[in-house]
Amino acid sequence: MTAVFAISIEPRATIPVVGSDQVFPVRRIYCIGRNYAAHAREMGGDPNREPPFFFQKASDTVQNCPANGTVQHPYPTMTANYHHEVEMVVALKSGGRDIAEKDALSHVFGYAVGLDMTRRDLQDEAKTLKRPWEVGKSADHSAPVGPLYPVSSVGHPAKGSISVSVNGEPRQSSDLSDMIWSVPEQIAILSRYFELKAGDIIFTGTPEGVGKVQRGETMRAVIDGLGEISLHIV
């Protein structure tokens, strides 16, 4: 017998799938830190291949962004230094523990362009005080994601430009091939820490040039082959 909820809650987050009426249900949101050398340097870290590290955002922080048009993105509370981090998002159709690197891509459903929006002042304070990162990284609506492109249509993008502009001015511009840890490596290593499951999405790290945005500005994030998303901050 199916249990009946004692209260009503919002349904889980989903991401539209390009070329289909279907949506992808989101289970967990994992993010990798410092996965582009020049960004590692700008954050005061070591750009060498030190082991990758991961954090999570709450799965209901997903903000859906259409392939065309601009969505309104609410500026979060409790920050005066809200930053964009453009990232490729990987969506898993299956998972497991201790996934081998050579098998990792077989678990991928598709890819999208996303933003790991960050209350940088709160993240910096957490670093200084050796506290958890949630308040910096998991603000409401802090995971804008564009429509998912299935592997059947785009393959596994490993190179191509990734960029974000603010009010038309270039801010971050790099190439997916500049990732320190590849997507298969990220999936393999992450699966040693957590059992990955269908519905998990991974934000694969951001290149250099992260910076502040304000109310009234418009961010446009683009990845070659994965379209673009546009957000007006209100």
Closest to Mn ion by CB, 87 or 150: 87
Alpha helices in 18-176 (DSSP H): 37-42, 101-104, 120-129, 134-137, 151-154
**Contacting residues for 44 by C-beta, under 8 A, at least 6 apart:** none
**164 counts as binding Mn ion under rule CB under 5 A:** no
- Phi, then psi, of 16 in degrees rounded to 5: -60, 145
Q: Using CB under 5 A, which of the segments 77-85, 160-168, 183-191, 218-226 binds Mn ion?
A: 77-85
Closest to Mn ion by CB, 34 or 107: 34
Question: HSE (CB half, 13 Å, CA atoms) of 69?
Answer: 6
**200 counts as binding Mn ion under rule CB under 5 A:** no
Of 62, 82, 90, 116, the one binding Mn ion (CB under 5 A) is 116
SS3 call for 156? coil
In Å, how far from its chain's centre is CA 142? 9
**85 counts as binding Mn ion under rule CB under 5 A:** yes
Site size with Mn ion, rule: CB under 5 A: 3
SS3 call for 177? helix
Closest CB 173 distance from Mn ion, rounded Å? 16
Closest CB 210 distance from Mn ion, rounded Å? 8
Closest CB 31 distance from Mn ion, rounded Å? 5
Closest to Mn ion by CB, 116 or 200: 116
Closest to Mn ion by CB, 36 or 149: 36
What kind and span of H or E run contains 186? Answer: helix 183-193
Closest to Mn ion by CB, 85 or 200: 85
**Contacting residues for 60 by C-beta, under 8 A, at least 6 apart:** 10, 12, 13
Closest CB 222 distance from Mn ion, rounded Å? 17
**142 counts as binding Mn ion under rule CB under 5 A:** no
